[in-house]
Structure 1
Amino acid sequence: MDIRRFITVMERVAPPELAEDYDVGRIGLIVEGKGDIGTVCCALDATQRVAEAATLAGADMLVVHHTPLWNPVTTVRGATSHLLRTLLSAGMNLYVMHTNFDHAEGGVNDTLAARLGLSATERMTAGLVGDCSLDAEEIARRLPGGGIRVYGEIGTIQRLAVVGGSGFDPDLIREAVDLGADAFLSAELKHSVARASPIPCLEATHYALEAPAMEALSSRMGWHYIPDPPHVVVVP
């Protein structure tokens, strides 16, 4: 497939106009490689390990959720140099779908809601709220990584708000409450937000909330998915 046609297809999957303002210049074709796309690999992050696995798979294109070039690049050294050398020497393209894929139909939040079995869903400014009958243990079991932190008194949840990524914003929590949510699931919870929240907060990792959507997209498109969960060491 020609690279221009590939980009057209991807922009139908996750229209760029759905992205948050801070994603300008950070989504789409981030690294340009071969003009003809045959093998495509997909992952959550463009880590060195993922880039090397994609190279071994003979990928012409690597599709990820998070750009590895978040800040303007003024020097090419260290991990950035190593990653770019791996991609460029293989002629591999790197395509990023971030908040546009969060908001897209069938994207991060929709996949998360489906994985948790939410029904009667309503969209928020970011994320969505849906009916369920889950407790914290069952939510943890349904997410990759198998663990969440719970802040607040919680039993069986009847209506859950889910936001992939860093979604613990006080305004979003209030919006979720207005839509009937009795608990809020996202990542990167600040202590001050947890203390002020009118409903219990369930904190998972970025990987647990976002990797399922990349895996589902890969399956839908017939790509090769590269799982790369973060290596966590628990120190007593």
Structure 2
Amino acid sequence: MPQARVRDIVEIIENAAPPALAETWDNTGLALGRMDDPVKKVWTALDPLPMVVEAACKNNVDMLFTHHPLLIRPLKSLDLATPMGTIVSMAVRHNLTLYSAHTNLDKTRGGVNDILTRRLGLESEKDLVPGQADQPGLGRVARLPEPGALEDVIARVKERLGLKWVRAVGNKNLKVDAIALCSGSGSSLLPEFFASGAQVYLTGDMGYHHARSVEDAGLACIDVGHFASEHLMVEAMAHFIQEQCDAQGLDVITEPCSLEQDPFAIY
């Protein structure tokens, strides 16, 4: 088999999630590394956390692909004693490439929002926020196989996502036939949810005043948390990258990182 290089893995990812789809504020793509470096092992993760990078280095991983970028805002300095400095120092010393696909992976067909939709056993009918020039946009709107009460939808979400709890707003008896969803932080898309025709909005990171707005509209929201709405991509993207490498005859092992947990705990 031919020797795979970083650019080969990047091409696989960018064919699936074109960088042009990313929001203008985003910092998707190569954060650290060289495109011509050889790759034999790839890990996928949600975040480039210090413990994830450390474990990747110890396990001879050549490339770490994450959903969340290492950096969103530019740094003015880099203290190697800080968590960010530790990540960069470890990655450089072990020749670990760091690469991310963020809002482009959220939007693209088959990306994070579609992974979430499928896990819920639903099919997307339209984008919550239409993209430009027939490109995919943010979020999805999907219809339930059969209408049901909000409490039944909550039970479905918990069972399908393997969650012990969710935060919910709305009358438990509210009749639901359509769900709008946005992986990660979706509070900024509340106006689009209100105009979507869906009765429930599934997302993460909803605040108090956002909840009141949903309540005032007579609608519902299910907040599954940022982590639970996006961590699904870790296993899905590991499978996708491995499948593409095998199809291209590239000698690469791709594995999902198993170390990450939701930072929030319920006591």
* TM-score w.r.t. length of structure 1: 0.90
**Distance in 1 between the 2:155 and 2:122 partners?**
16
The reply to whether residue 137 of structure 1 matches residue 155 of structure 2 is yes
Q: Return the letter of the residue paired with 1:36.
A: P
Query: Matched residues, percent identical?
Result: 28
Equivalent residue, structure 2, for 1:94: 98
| Structure 2: unaligned runs, 5 residues or longer | 130-137, 147-151, 243-253
Equivalent residue, structure 1, for 2:198: 181
**1:109-148 to 2 correspondences below 5 Å:** 109-119=113-123, 121-125=125-129, 126-132=138-144, 133=146, 134-148=152-166
Q: Return the letter of the residue paired with 1:229.
A: Q
**Distance in 1 between the 2:37 and 2:158 partners?**
42
Between 1:94-103 and 1:172-181, the stretch displaced more is: 172-181
1:106 Cα deviation from its structure 2 partner: 0.9
Q: Return the letter of the residue paired with 1:167.
A: G
Number of equivalent positions: 231
Q: 1:14 aligns with which of 13, 17, 25?
A: 17
Q: Return the letter of the residue paired with 1:8.
A: E
The reply to whether residue 84 of structure 1 matches residue 88 of structure 2 is yes
SS of corresponding position for 1:161: strand
CA deviation map 1:17-38 (0-9, x unaligned): 1111111xx1101011571122
The answer to whether the 8 Å contact 1:129/1:160 transfers is yes
**Distance in 2 between the 1:102 and 1:120 partners?**
14
The answer to whether the 8 Å contact 2:122/2:142 transfers is yes
Q: 1:157 aligns with which of 161, 168, 176?
A: 176
**Distance in 2 between the 1:50 and 1:157 partners?**
39
1:141 Cα deviation from its structure 2 partner: 2.4
Q: Structure 1 residues 146, 4: CA separation in 2 closer, same or farther (over 3 Å shift)?
A: same
Between 1:32-41 and 1:112-121, the stretch displaced more is: 32-41
Q: 2:61 aligns with which of 44, 59, 62?
A: 59
Q: CA RMSD in A?
A: 1.9
**1:34-53 to 2 correspondences below 5 Å:** 35-53=37-55
1:231 Cα deviation from its structure 2 partner: 4.1
The reply to whether residue 200 of structure 1 matches residue 220 of structure 2 is yes
1:177 Cα deviation from its structure 2 partner: 4.1
The reply to whether residue 166 of structure 1 matches residue 166 of structure 2 is no
Equivalent residue, structure 1, for 2:108: 104
CA deviation map 1:213-236 (0-9, x unaligned): 22211122222101301344445x
**Distance in 1 between the 2:94 and 2:227 partners?**
27
Q: 1:226 aligns with which of 243, 254, 257?
A: 257
The answer to whether the 8 Å contact 2:29/2:100 transfers is yes
SS of corresponding position for 1:214: helix
The answer to whether the 8 Å contact 1:66/1:96 transfers is yes
Q: Structure 1 residues 177, 56: CA separation in 2 closer, same or farther (over 3 Å shift)?
A: same
SS of corresponding position for 1:112: helix
CA deviation map 1:197-218 (0-9, x unaligned): 2221111211100110222111
The answer to whether the 8 Å contact 2:117/2:124 transfers is no
Between 1:213-222 and 1:97-106, the stretch displaced more is: 213-222
The reply to whether residue 190 of structure 1 matches residue 194 of structure 2 is no
**Distance in 1 between the 2:228 and 2:265 partners?**
17
**Distance in 2 between the 1:164 and 1:100 partners?**
12
The answer to whether the 8 Å contact 1:16/1:100 transfers is yes
